[in-house]
Amino acid sequence: MGFTKYTSQKEKERTPINEGIRSKELRVLTEDGDNLGVLPLKEAIEKAREMGLDLIEISPNAKPPVAKITDYGKFKYEQKKKAKDIKSKAHVTETKSAQVKIGTGTRDMEIKASRIAGWLREGHRVKVDLFLWGRYKYMEFAFLKERLERFLAIIPESFKIADEIAKSPKGLSVTLERDKSGKRWQPSEAVKKAIQKETTETPEETPQEDHDQNE
């Protein structure tokens, strides 16, 4: 600890300290939070020197401005820590997008599901599109909804439905968001039975229909 001088011009402009403080008088607080009252700048600096600490102006817009007697290194550390905490709390979330198709292979489905799980863990919402083309556009909504729910069932992360499954320009869409309670989303009973049936029967060869061109 000691009486600190500025290390750079940028720091001098950002944090008024010791002789760099321009206010003629300040309300002075100690490191322990004691209020020493309103003191002339010269007297406040002398008190800081006696304690082997620095005088730092912490509220320049107050009337009178407020200064604190503390170690400048400790002050900088606390300021950085507060800024980091604020930044982490202000984490910007966005809506990510993922697309699946009828006929997509199991491995590709698992990769997409894993990617979506990662986005959910980061706090993002995820819009999942079941892309339809050709004859698939005219299939019954109930059948298509079941296909999308089957995909949702393999996402390895707890989530809840933010926007229910509905028709969209691409086909069917649903929006997910992380469920902080840790509760796993459950598909309908019909989908559960279909999944269970598939696991007990010999799987048939998956049709090669997962392409990126519209028919």
Mean pLDDT in residue range 4-17: 60
pLDDT (tens digit per residue) in 133-153: 888 889 999 999 999 999 999
Residue 213 included in any domain? no
CATH label of the domain that carries residue 51: 3.10.20.80
Q: Are residues 16 and 56 in the same domain?
A: yes
Q: Verify that 115 and 62 share a domain, yes or no.
A: no
Helix, coil or strand: residue 188: coil
Does residue 33 sit in the same domain as residue 116? no
Lowest mean pLDDT among 4-18, 51-65, 103-117, 183-197: 4-18
Domain final residue, candidates 89, 124, 149: 89
Is residue 131 domain-resident? yes
List, for residues 162-185, the tens digit of each pLDDT value: 999 999 988 999 999 998 888 888
Average pLDDT estimate for 186-215: 58
Q: Are 58 and 88 in contact (CB under 8 A)?
A: no
- Among 3-17, 45-59, 90-104, the range with the most confident prediction by mean pLDDT is 45-59
212 band by pLDDT with thresholds 50, 70 and 90: very low
Residues 122 and 184 in one domain: yes
Domains held by the chain: number: 2
Instruction: Say whether both 126 and 145 belong to one domain.
Output: yes
The answer to whether position 18 is within a domain reads yes
Q: Per mean pLDDT, which range of 10-19, 31-40, 96-105, 154-163 is the poorest?
A: 10-19
Whether residue 82 is found in the same domain as residue 177: no
Residue 73 in any domain: the answer is yes
Domain boundary among 56, 89, 122: 89
Closest CA to 130 of 148, 113, 112, 116: 148
**CB of 74 closer than 8 Å to CB of 81:** no
How far apart (Å, rounded) are the C-alpha atoms in residues 128 and 163?
10
Are residues 67 and 127 both part of a single domain? no
Parent domain of 167: 95-200
Residues 85 and 138 placed together within one structural domain of the fold:
no
Q: Are 112 and 157 a contacting pair, CB within 8 Å?
A: no
Q: State the pLDDT confidence band at 5, using cuts at 50, 70 and 90.
A: low
Find out whether the peptide bond into 64 is cis, omega within 30 degrees of 0: yes
The answer to whether residues 55 and 32 touch, using CB atoms and an 8 Å cutoff, is: no
Task: Give the residue, 100 or 103, on which the prediction is more confident.
Answer: 100
Mean pLDDT, the chain, rounded, equals 83
Check whether residue 73 and residue 110 sit in a common domain. no
Same structural domain, 99 and 22: no
* Residue from 178, 147, 181 nearest 162 by CA: 178
- pTM (2 decimals)? 0.51
Q: 215 in a domain, yes or no?
A: no
Judge if 103 and 82 occupy the same domain.
no
54/86 Cα distance (integer angstroms): 26
Higher pLDDT, 43 or 184: 43
- Residues 134 and 63 both lie in one domain: no
